[in-house]
């Protein structure tokens, strides 16, 4: 018997890797499939199924249980044996987190979109899986740091993002003995239970509104400092032309007043469409009271940023832009 099947998005397709763990891909899509069944009940399947939408519940040792969104356009192809289908699809887990731990640059403390991408290819029963990290809105510096990470480090970062909603500083970027000692009481990903709970709480709070990003960070005290609690809030308005970031905290060094209140506030405006020219204003708590007794410092600045591979390439770009503009002006005259 032969059957020609025209599959539409009304039907849900499931690919079960581990039914007990719930490791399942669910999707809707389109496909033209040809099914052949002989008198013994054996059957062959031919054709291609293209996914329109779907999700993949990724599980790992009962520790990680995250729902990935299957990217539109993924395919499953059959050429006979139904169990020998060929996969070619990507699933993405989206979150927002700071890039500071992966860059060690204080200008990257704001939470930005991050995508954990799982690529699944080849055999349906034993697919080749590979992780990658995508930063949709990050600049070339952050993109370059991620792209230069070796596969083993990418996997570590993926686990940290899935479990704790944050990056972790790679060993190669840590600063010698002091960094090692500061993390000696942490686990393999350099985070303790209070950090885990803080990041999970931040993730939950950020789900309340898509317009605001909320972060909570709690650090227990020790013999040198009191407990610290920090709450951060960020948002972007006017089609992402204006970014507002703020955070307040209570706690700190024991020699300071009990319950010391600290707060930072920053506004950044993109002057032009590309965002290369920006105006930034800020008020921040003063960390160095030895040379400046004022509890806060304020500032206003105008800055321009340009990414380039070489200085000669940058000069050539400007040179061509200037002469192109002059040529256009002369033609109008």
pLDDT digits (tens, 9 = 90+) for 227-281: 666 777 777 788 888 888 877 766 555 444 444 556 788 898 999 888 888 998 9
Predicted pLDDT of residue 290: 56
88 shares its domain with 234: no
Are residues 49 and 140 both part of a single domain? yes
Task: Give the model confidence (pLDDT) of 7-38 as tens digits.
Answer: 888 888 888 776 666 678 888 999 999 888 88
Domain boundary among 161, 191, 221: 191
* Other Cβ atoms within 10 Å of 19 Cβ, number: 9
Q: What's the helix, strand, coil split of the chain in %, to 5?
A: 25, 45, 30
Do 40 and 115 share a structural domain?
yes
Final residue in a domain of this structure, among 191, 216, 247: 191
pLDDT of residue 71: 93
Q: Dump pLDDT digits (tens) for 213-242.
A: 666 665 655 555 566 667 777 777 888 888
Q: What pLDDT shows up at residue 234?
A: 76
Q: Are 44 and 80 in contact (CB under 8 A)?
A: yes
Same domain, 175 and 218: no
28 in the same domain as 162: yes
Please tell me whether residues 9 and 150 are part of one structural domain: yes
Answer whether 90's CB lies under 8 Å from 117's CB.
yes
Domain that holds residue 128: 1-191
In a domain, 269, yes or no: yes
The domain boundary, picked from 135, 156, 191, lies at 191
Residues 171 and 22 in one domain: yes
Give the number of domains in the chain.
2
Task: Please list the residues that pair with 54 across neighbouring strands.
Answer: 27
User: Is the residue at 197 inside a domain?
Assistant: no
Residues 232, 160 share a domain: no
Residue 198 lies in a domain: no
Higher pLDDT among residues 266 and 327, named by residue = 266
Token pair of 59 as six digits: 């599980």
**Spatial CB neighbours of 278, under 8 Å, sequence gap ≥ 6:** 268, 269, 270, 271, 302, 303, 304, 305
In this prediction, residue 43 has a pLDDT band, given cuts at 50, 70 and 90, of: confident
User: Does the residue 201 lie in any domain?
Assistant: no
CA distance 318 to 321: 5
277's CB contacts (< 8 A; 6+ apart) are: 270, 271, 302, 303, 304
């Amino acid at each position: 018997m032969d059957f020609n099947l025209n599959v539409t998005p009304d039907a849900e397709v499931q690919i079960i890797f581990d039914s007990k763990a719930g490791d399942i891909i669910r999707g809707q899509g389109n496909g033209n499939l040809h099914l052949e069944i002989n008198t013994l009940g054996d059957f062959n399947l031919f054709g291609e199924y293209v996914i329109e939408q779907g999700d993949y519940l990724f599980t790992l040792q009962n520790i990680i249980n995250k729902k990935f969104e299957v990217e539109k356009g993924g395919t499953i192809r059959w050429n006979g044996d139904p169990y020998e289908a060929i996969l070619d699809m990507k699933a993405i887990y989206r979150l927002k987190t700071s890039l500071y731990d992966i860059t060690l640059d204080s200008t990257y403390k704001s939470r930005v979109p991050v995508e954990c991408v799982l690529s699944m290819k080849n055999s349906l029963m034993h697919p080749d899986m590979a992780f990658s990290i995508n930063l949709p809105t990050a600049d070339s510096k952050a993109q370059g740091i991620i792209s230069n990470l070796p596969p083993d480090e990418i996997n570590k970062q993926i686990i940290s993002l899935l479990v704790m909603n944050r990056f972790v500083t790679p060993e190669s970027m840590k600063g010698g003995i002091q960094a090692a000692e500061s993390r000696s009481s942490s686990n393999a990903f350099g985070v303790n239970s209070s950090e885990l709970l803080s990041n999970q709480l931040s993730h939950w709070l950020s789900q309340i509104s898509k317009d605001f990003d909320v972060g909570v960070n709690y650090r227990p005290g020790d013999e040198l400092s009191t407990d610290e609690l920090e709450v951060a809030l960020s948002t972007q308005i006017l089609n992402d032309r204006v970014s507002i970031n703020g955070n307040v905290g209570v706690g700190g060094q024991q020699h300071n007043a009990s319950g010391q209140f600290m707060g930072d506030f920053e506004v950044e405006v993109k002057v032009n469409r590309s965002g290369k020219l920006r105006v930034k204003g800020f008020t921040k708590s003063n960390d160095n009271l030895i040379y400046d007794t004022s509890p806060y410092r304020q500032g206003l600045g105008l800055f321009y940023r340009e990414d380039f591979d070489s200085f000669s390439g940058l000069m050539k770009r400007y040179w061509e832009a200037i002469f192109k503009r002059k040529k256009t002006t002369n033609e109008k005259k």
